[in-house]
Structure 1
Amino acid sequence: MEGLMSRGGEAPGTPDSVIPENEGKEKFKKYNHIAFYRRQKELQQGSSYYRPLMDTLEMSERGAELELIHTETEVRFLLCVCAIQGRVVRVKINELQPIRARYEVPDVLIGEPVRERLSAEKADKDTLRLSWSNGQYQMRITRSPFQLEVLCGGEVMVTLNSQGRLCFETLRDPPDKGSSQKGEQDDEDSAGLWKETFRQFIDIKANGPSSVGLDFTLHGFSNVYGIPEHADTLLLKDTSSGGPYRLYNLDVFAYDIHSKLGLYGSVPLLLAHKLERTIGIFWLNASETLLDISTVSENLVASPSLAKRRKLPSQTELHWMSESGIIDTFILLGPSPSDIFTQYAGLTGWQALPPLFSLGYNQCRWNYKDEADVRAVDQGFDRHHIPYDVIWLDIEHTQGKRYFTWDRQLFPDPPGLQCYLQDKKRKLVVISDPHIKIDPEYSLYAEAKNCGHFVKDREGNPYEGSCWPGPCCYLDFSNPKTRDWYSSKFALDNYEGSTDSLFVWNDMNEPSVFDGPEQTMPKDAVHYGGWEHRELHNLYGFYQHWATAEGLTWRSGGTERPFVLTRSFFAGSQRFGAVWTGDNVATWDYLKISIPMLLTLSITGISFCGVDVGGFFHDPEPELLVRWYQAGALQPFFRGHSAMQTKRREPWIFGEEVTTIIRAAISQRYCLLPYWYTLFHQAQLSAKPPMRPLWVEFPKEPQTFAVEDQYMIGSALLACPVTDPGVKEVKVLFPGCGEYWYDVHSSQIFRGGRTVNVSVTLDSAPVFQRGGTVVPRKKEAGTCTADQNSMPFSLTVALDPKGSAVGDLYMDDGHSFNYTDKKEFALQRFTFFNGKLLSSCSDNTGKFESRCSVECVQWMGVRERPSAVTAQLSGDRAENVPFTYEEKRSLLTVKGLKLGAVQNWQLEIK
């Protein structure tokens, strides 16, 4: 292995053609460059400028409304609070009479939430109590100082405005420059009120300053998570030094690790956890947003008398700040992590059930150069017996980077290529970016311009920026008519050269503008409805993702599930498809940070997520490539991808030793697909992510709260990818005091509640099955997911200390909406108790015929050799079946079974 670990090409320098001309770290703002952040931080902390007018209280089925007044300007605001069914509180603050409407984020919520009726009680002239659910939950509003507390069972969970940080900059008319003093104008310009300058870019603010902000105290909580996307730790950091977390979607090539600056997408959802409860704060605002976090852990402090020490409880202070819009926030009261996932999905939607093929291995490169290259790569997978499902084409497949076209020199027969792949039951994915090349001869551009589908500049003309094709205009996906028009372009009779086995990848949709401020669109560009880009910047990719998914769905007449990968995203993007973490680099640090990045995405609703396996840029050494494949095979979305300037790295490039290890990792992924698919079915119903931090499954074990180098796949598997070079052992925390964990390869048993050094070799990626679970697998990998339709299942039964286990298997056709429209699905429950393994239907509403059988069952943790094992179909007589028993491994195996995967049957160990 020493030779293998030392092989690999040199990492080339960054080619000019990869990075846009103005690329550079200095082109992105630091927090001190952001005017509204500076203004809000300069406000005096501790004394609120806002007072509720208690006599304006109005109660209705919609909740409670009362006015706030700014004590200095006397501007009035409307405070709306309501209780949403399922233990969620919503708080909205807006100007009572703005001079023009303020932006309220549309389309992210899946509907108007169902409210619970509040009852109001004025405790005194300065305090208002609102309660619901028979008084179990309360909100307490105090007048001076203005605060809003949320209580559960009499205990304060969250206090809003406890630090007096509420800020609401009101809209105003532009100043009369003719009558203003020059000094006053200079002061306003330096504060960034009417214009803001960064480098050579000037942002003209037609509506003046409009930022909003609010602080939250989370009582008893010191562990906070969420707010992707940042290349940072799973446990969010205190920002008292080093600046806030930024949520502003940007194209950040080769992003810095352990940075709080924003990347390609954003979800303004934060989760806080302690032993007794998990809560969430969802800040619904699509403009540039910053979040300061200050955490105090529980400690002992001297009392004033110095005679005693008293306990200072944990708490976390949050300070949300957004450039524009209104204050619209949701407090999710849990109490469990699973409850938070359900509450959030009830607001923004559940993870879409992906087509089965998309959970297989995806092979991508910028760019496979022509049809012959694609066919050769496809044949290489078959020649080396490596399964895969999808091959991808980047921007070079188009005619001069004009989307919805093909370079006919390189791809003369796109339908033929797709049919070639489809004959092998494989798919093709092509890229479609939001920038449209300015070319009057390009029909897509001409039609979009004539129909008014482009974003406009502040002068009312189509906004022009630069991206891969050169000068471009950008589609205004915030316009429903533009989304419908764009969706229609995926129809087979509109998209020349496409077939129903072609799927789509949305890239550069932050949006990326090479010559724009921070390489994105200017904030004073204008969208549908007259809204400035600053209001909805973080929604841009969300809208394109939505339009693309609808286009692929409409293409099939609404019968087939779409598959769309997007780089930019927002809350609710889980409804449309998959997300990946963008342009990473082939180093060990990027492999390591990918795990907390994916865990953070997972717990904030984006369950179908992955990274560029191997690193997008630079050339990975063979050991790094192997470890990345092993990790990627244990993550939701599994795609290898690399830049055109890197050396080719198909799995067989590095020699037979590497090929063998990568083949094994991919094959094990394919064998485990029944379990992954079942987890995505569960995610669609309960919103619990397939990839989970340990603390989600073990919320009462503090030792799990900061773990980010290992994670759970569902509730049954513990994954511990190796992310350091040359290691011969890894530290594994086995959670669950008193539980059993089994090495899935050796069946070695480990007891929970301890950390163990586990030996590894280059061809081993530690995975452990939790005692008390049943995991379904396919006995063979096949060449792609479609091969598995008739392949037999195997079941692995891992016994808990009581000798019991349970698990599920979900099946449908893997591609259509028949599972919901026609209830064509099967959900089978496997239960082992008192020596009997029972297979039974756990959802009688579904009807699905499966040709597959269960042919092998293994039990881990069987302490004694049984005298016999019998099999019995429902209503039939039990018959003995042959078995093998390995005493050293406590492993019992039964093979050669012919038990229907969706039948009721029983296996009994005697």
Structure 2
Amino acid sequence: MEAAKKEKISVDDEAVDKNIFKDCSNIAFYRRQKKQLSKKSTCRAVLDSFTTGKDSTSFQIINEATKIPLLAEVYGLEGNIFRLKINEESPLKPRYEVRDVLTSKLSTVRLISCSGAKGSLVLADGKGDLKFHVTADPFKVDLVSEEDIVMSVNSLGQLYFEHLQISPKQRATKENEDDASVDTSQQENQNDMGLWEEKFGKFVDIKANGPASIGLDFSLHGFEHLYGIPQHAESHQLKNTGDGDAYRLYNLDVYGYKIHDKMGIYGSVPYLLAHKLGRTLGIFWLNASETLVEVNTEPTVEYTLTQMGSVAAKQKVRSRADVHWMSESGIIDVFLLMGPTPSDVFRQYSHLTGTQAMPPLFSLGYHQCRWNYEDEQDVKAVDAGFDEHDIPYDVMWLDIEHTEGKRYFTWDKKRFPNPKRMQELLRSKKRKLVVISDPHVKVDPDYSVYAKAKEQGFFVRNREGGDLEGVCWPGLCSYLDFTNPKVREWYSGLFAFPVYQGSTDILFIWNDMNEPSVFRGPELTMQKNAIHHGNWEHRELHNIYGFYQQMATAEGLIRRSKGKERPFVLTRSFFAGSQKYGAVWTGDNRSDWSYLKISIPMLLTLSVTGISFCGADVGGFIGNPEAELLVRWYQAGAYQPFFRGHATMKTKRREPWLFGEEHTQLIRDAIRERYALLPYWYSLFYRAHKTAEPIMRPLWVEFPNELETFGIEDEYMLGSALLVHPVTEPKAAVVDVFLPGSDEVWYDSKTFAHWEGACTVKIPVALDTIPVFQRGGSVVAVKTTVGKSTGWMTESPYGLRVALSSQGSAVSELYLDDGHSFQYCHQNQFLNRKFLFCSGVLINSCADERGRYPSKCVVEQILVLGLRKQPSSVTTHSSGEESSHSYLIICSCKHRHISREEMISPKADAMCLPQAQLTRAFWWSQAY
């Protein structure tokens, strides 16, 4: 056990040893595809085989080299989505298809066959504005929108499909070794090309099913800007890949990962977005095996007179982006999301994989974690430290050392002898506890979790049929097979209070090491020829393993409450659709300015690929941050969705009050700003849950028609109202902030200074400065008082920050429910209010008539930015209609100064939200 620990943490201060991990030159299926594609063999569609079924249209594709037919199926899905599936027509055995990711609500649209040119087939949706145009020879697909080709499939001829074969040993026993079903071109240089076994270092991957890789190219016409395919510690905009270079999607435990690198790390979402002026597209490659993505963008080129002569003076070469997907196994199953707007693409992807789960309110507060808090007294002291220094927080976290010898669902009897008492202490402060539960299980017949799982055959098996064993934190471990529904059901039951002794309803879960991490395995993960439920090899489903653990954990927390309470589950490994089950973080980062800076594009990429509840460990997990870096990281983390401080065991303690009073105050201010904005955060999560709008948004999402925004990644929008530009450089005295939108007005959230948009502004920054700007035309709801935790703030008053547009108006919505149950969706126990300021009148109306939720909260402050003149009077008025519950605030603007005493006069009529009151103050700011 201790040897395993040392093996893992000995690299604390060292760079990543990339010899542990593969690059493209070490990946056999990549080498095979590149070699075969260089021979330029072509494929053709057999249009005579065209058939139309109830849901799909199908036809054959023949590779001219192999002559073996593939079956292509085309589906039209509601909401401008095409699905293309390509599989062997008659495989030797079934090929793996990803399950459980797609939502059950997919509905098809019947595609209509239209007349096309000879040698082509045109399929159109019912509206006729989207067409799927198949050219037979060579096989190519053009996706046409309003007669404009926006995407082509296989235009580069990179369709690749390795057919399942009889193994060489089996084939040698057959009389006819030249059977036509064998692709002889794939048998050359078997040792070098890794057809039946593949070597990497001391590891040998024996492939019972032989080579089975697939590939396909997509050309995006007029596009230069591509995003997505997390997770990589790279820029938000995807970079071109050269020879021998590709983005790798393969979930790996990379401790202190290298930044500005395309190597795979903890999670994989095989989903890419392309954006240009007037159009956004998406490509979702549904495959859970190791996947490589090559990207090549060619920008627009204009030819001048001197280059080409007068005839070509006005010629223009249109930009294009080519994307080549390659996976080790499975089938081609790709969804083409046709947009046309960013919000359309987000909605289309959520229609396929689901929206972000609605989190419990406490999880939007600050989380305090360390590997490890030593014992109950340590937890008590840290908890008291937050109160002593007046710093709010919501969740205490315990890492692996809280267990009895790394046996999950247990407690160390010496260090945590009374876990319920410890949780009751946290409960008395209205706080929660999160503990860790990893997928490996210590091999120990006396450990009930191990004994029961072994008895029922719930572990992943090795290729010989026994339980797979590998080394992780407890020492020798077996790994639960979460791909098995029975294992997930059993595992979910482990969270029941009678089973998980010492747990209470304030305990929630952290899934770590679930790539899965295997310390002495190839690339520190599981052997690809390990066997899962259904006799599928691990290579088929590697990237979805952690997804299944988080699914089982979330279901377990829901089950223990009999379906009443929302779960909170953080996972390190993830896949497409993980957003349905909880939160994700960026893993084992370092205490370095460069890691603070790269966290922004990493989180933006997660956000646009459906995972809104994401964050990076504040301060950096590895190393000891200097005080300035720690302050800046807290300031950045306060404006990112998941907000957790975390550090590894070899670091110095770094609770927020340990860096001197000046820095304590700065960290306190940042955390308190987070808590003040909780109403806005919660409303954003509701929108993400209902409409798939990302919470943390790159500027191009909010300003899709402004080319200047397409490559910006050092600032972002938080919802549609706030622009955040974290300070990520040491000793910064000024930052350049780009404020988009030629018709926009932007207000500094602290000084209330204003600027017109479409300009770069130099903002002076001291260590207490967090550059945040409110967009004109928005209303941001805040809490006017901050408590010890979110639980203390349930009934604290609201304030409204109204920032007027250049037209003098503003609008927004506020969402409110009980913050923890499913009653918001089961019984419509929620409020969704709309605020509209126009012509000097602020109107509060119902945005969703279904919602009913009693609240004792009052609105006690209204701050209006952008009034051109001082108001002479402020009047509140009730419409008297029970259904609307509106109030009016009228500004007559007669130049008379209103004293604060007048504004808080109790003589004013008072009313506001249903079951609430508008009281106390109308604050104004003359910003023009």
Report the TM-score when normalising by structure 1. Answer: 0.95
Q: Are 1:44 and 2:37 an aligned pair?
A: yes
How is 1:433-444 mapped onto 2 (pairs within 5 angstroms)? 433-444=438-449
Aligned to 2:20: 27
Match of 1:400 in 2: 405
Partner of 2:733: 728
- The separation in 2 between residues aligned to 1:327 and 1:657, in whole angstroms, is 57
Partner SS for 2:37: coil
> Structure 2 residue aligned with 1:561, among 546, 566, 569?
566
Q: Could you tell me which residue of structure 1 aligns to residue 224 of structure 2?
A: 222
Distance 1:665 1:749 in 2: 22
CA contact (8 A) 2:546 2:573 kept: yes
Q: 1:18 aligns with which of 4, 9, 21?
A: 9
Aligned partners of 1:369 and 1:598: how far apart in 2? Answer: 31
Indicate the residue corresponding to 1:640 in structure 2: 645
- 1:145 and 2:138 equivalent? yes
Query: How far apart are residue 627 of structure 1 and its match?
Result: 0.1
Give the secondary structure class of the aligned counterpart of 1:612: coil
Structure 1 residue 597, shift from structure 2 partner: 0.2
Question: 1:875 & 1:888 partners in 2: Cα distance?
Answer: 30
| Separation of aligned partners in 1, 2:216 and 2:833 | 48
Instruction: Give the drift of 1:71.
Output: 1.6
Q: Distance in 2 between matches of 1:863 and 1:72?
A: 74
- The CA deviation string for residues 239-286 of structure 1, in whole angstroms up to 9 with x for no partner, is 025610000000000000000011100101100000110000000000
Tell me which of 772, 775, 778 is aligned to 1:770: 775
More displaced stretch, 861-870 vs 846-855 = 861-870
Q: Secondary structure at the match of 1:29?
A: coil
Deviation digits for residues 115-164 of structure 1 (CA, Å, limit 9, x no counterpart):
11111134244111111133211011111111011111111111000000
After superposition, give the CA deviation of every residue in 1:489-539 in whole Å (9 maximum; x if it has no partner): 000010011001100000000000000000000000000000000000000
2:686 counterpart SS class: helix
In 1, Cα distance between the equivalents of 2:368 and 2:87? 48
Q: Is the 8 A contact 2:699 2:716 kept in 1?
A: yes
The CA distance in 2 between the partners of 1:539 and 1:893, in whole Å, is: 62
Give the counterpart letter for 1:266 in structure 2. Answer: S
| Equivalent of residue 749 in structure 2, options 744, 761, 764 | 744
Rounded Cα–Cα distance in structure 2 between residues aligned with 1:418 and 1:282: 43
- TM-aligned CA deviation for residue 885 of structure 1: 12
Over 3 Å counting, the alpha-carbon distance change for 1:615 and 1:56 in structure 2 is: same
In the alignment, the residues of structure 2 paired with residue 884 and residue 590 of structure 1 have an alpha-carbon distance, to the nearest angstrom, of: 50
Which residue, out of 789, 813, 822, partners 2:827? 822
Q: What are the equivalent positions in structure 2 for 1:352-431 lying under 5 Å apart?
A: 352-431=357-436
Task: After superposing the two structures, state which structure 1 stretch, 864-873 or 171-180, moved more.
Answer: 171-180
Deviations 1:876-895 (CA, angstroms, capped at 9, x unpaired): 99999999999999999955
Over residues 850-905 of structure 1, what are the superposed CA-to-partner deviations in whole Å (9 max), with x where a residue is unaligned? 00010000100112111111111233999999999999999999557854333699
Partner residue of 2:661 out of 650, 656, 669: 656
Query: What are the residue-to-residue correspondences of 1:58-207 with 2, within 5 Å?
Result: 58-111=51-104, 113-176=106-169, 187-207=189-209
CA distance in 2, matches of 1:849, 1:817: 16
State the secondary structure of the residue aligned to 2:168.
coil
1:244 aligned partner: 246
- My pick for the range that moved more, 886-895 or 745-754, is 886-895
- Alignment counterpart, residue 813 of structure 2, candidates 798, 808, 811: 808
Code of the residue aligned with 1:281 in structure 2: it is: I
Matched, 1:282 2:272: no
523 and 885 in structure 1: CA distance in 2 versus 1, 3 angstrom threshold:
farther
Match of 2:312 among 295, 308, 311: 308
Q: Is the Cα contact below 8 Å between 1:28 and 1:518 reproduced in 2? A: yes
Query: In the alignment, what sits opposite 2:913?
Result: 901
Of 880-889 and 75-84, the range deviating more from structure 2: 880-889
Query: Where does 1:673-688 land on structure 2 (aligned, <5 Å)?
Result: 673-688=678-693
* Cα distance between partner residues in 1 of 2:434 and 2:771: 32
Distance 1:884 1:390 in 2: 47
- CA–CA separation in structure 2 for the residues paired with 1:502 and 1:688: 29
Q: 2:849 aligns with which of 841, 844, 851?
A: 844
Q: 1:883 to 1:784 in 2, by over 3 A?
A: farther
How big is each residue's C-alpha offset from its partner over 1:78-101, in whole Å with a ceiling of 9 and x where there is no partner? 100111000001000000000000
The match for 1:793 among 777, 791, 798 is: 798
* Matched AA of 2:66: T
CA contact (8 A) 1:856 1:896 kept: no
- Report if the CA contact (8 A) 1:734-1:753 is conserved: yes
How big is each residue's C-alpha offset from its partner over 1:551-589, in whole Å with a ceiling of 9 and x where there is no partner?
000000000000000000000000000000000000000
Aligned equivalent of 2:296:
294
Distance 2:69 2:900 in 1: 72
Seen in structure 2, the aligned counterparts of structure 1 residues 122 and 678 have a Cα distance that, compared at 3 Å, is same
2:312 is aligned with what amino acid? K
Q: CA deviation at 1:72?
A: 2.2
Contact 2:675 2:790 (C-alpha < 8 Å) held by counterparts = yes
- 1:317 and 2:310 aligned: no
Q: 8 Å contact 1:692–1:712 — kept in the other structure?
A: yes
Paired residue secondary structure (2:742): coil
C-alpha spacing 1:193/1:355, structure 2 compared with 1 (3 Å) = same
- The alignment of Structure 1 onto Structure 2 pairs a total of residues equal to 897
Judge conservation of contact 1:82–1:118 (CA < 8 Å) in 2. Answer: yes
**How many Å separate the matches in 2 of 1:882 and 1:853?**
21
The residue type equivalent to 1:120 in the other structure is S
Alpha-carbon distance in structure 2 between the residues aligned to 1:600 and 1:773: 25
- Per the TM alignment, residue 601 of structure 1 is displaced from its structure 2 partner at its CA by 0.2
Whether contact under 8 Å (1:862, 1:891) holds in the other structure is: no
* 1:686-739 Cα deviation digits (max 9, x unpaired): 101110000000000010000000000000000010000001110000001021
Cα distance in 2 for residues equivalent to 1:490 and 1:327: 37
State whether residues 46 and 165 of structure 1, in contact with CA within 8 Å, keep that contact through their aligned partners in structure 2: no
- 1:190 deviates by 1.2
Preserved CA contact (<8 Å) 1:858 1:894: no
Unaligned runs of 5+ in 1: 1-13
SS in 2 for 1:399: coil
Match for residue 481 of structure 1 among 464, 479, 486: 486
Instruction: Look up the match of 1:576.
Output: 581
Cα deviation, 1:739-782, whole Å, max 9, x if unaligned, reads 10000111000110100100111011110000000000000111
Is the contact between residue 611 and residue 632 of structure 1 (CA under 8 Å) also seen in structure 2?
yes
Specify the code of the residue in structure 2 equivalent to 1:81. Answer: V
Read off the aligned partner of 2:295 and give its amino acid letter.
I
SS in 2 for 1:221: coil
Change in Cα spacing, 1:502 to 1:893, as seen in structure 2 (3 Å) is farther
Assess if the C-alpha contact under 8 Å between 2:24 and 2:244 holds in 1: no
Match of 2:181 in 1: none
CA positional deviation for 1:307 = 4.3
* Aligned residue identity for 2:21: F
Query: Bigger shift: 237-246 or 786-795?
Result: 237-246
Question: Aligned equivalents of 2:308 and 2:326: distance in 1?
Answer: 36
Shift of 1:631: 0.1
Instruction: Give CA-to-partner distance per residue, 1:276-299, whole Å, 9 cap, x none.
Output: 100000000000000000000101
Work out the CA distance in 2 between the residues paired with 1:94 and 1:717. 46
Aligned to 1:447: 452
Distance change in 2, residues 1:28/1:880 (3 Å): closer
Residues 304, 121 of structure 1: CA spacing in aligned structure 2 closer, same or farther, 3 A cutoff? Answer: farther
TM-score under structure 2 length normalisation: 0.93
SS at the partner of 2:133?
Answer: strand
**Farther-moved stretch of structure 1 (836-845 vs 170-179):** 170-179
Q: Relative to structure 1, is the Cα distance of residues 909 and 854 closer, same or farther in structure 2, using a 3 angstrom cutoff?
A: closer
Q: Would the aligned equivalents of 1:456 and 1:526 in 2 still touch at CA under 8 Å?
A: yes
**Contact 1:229–1:263 (CA<8 Å) still a contact in 2?**
yes
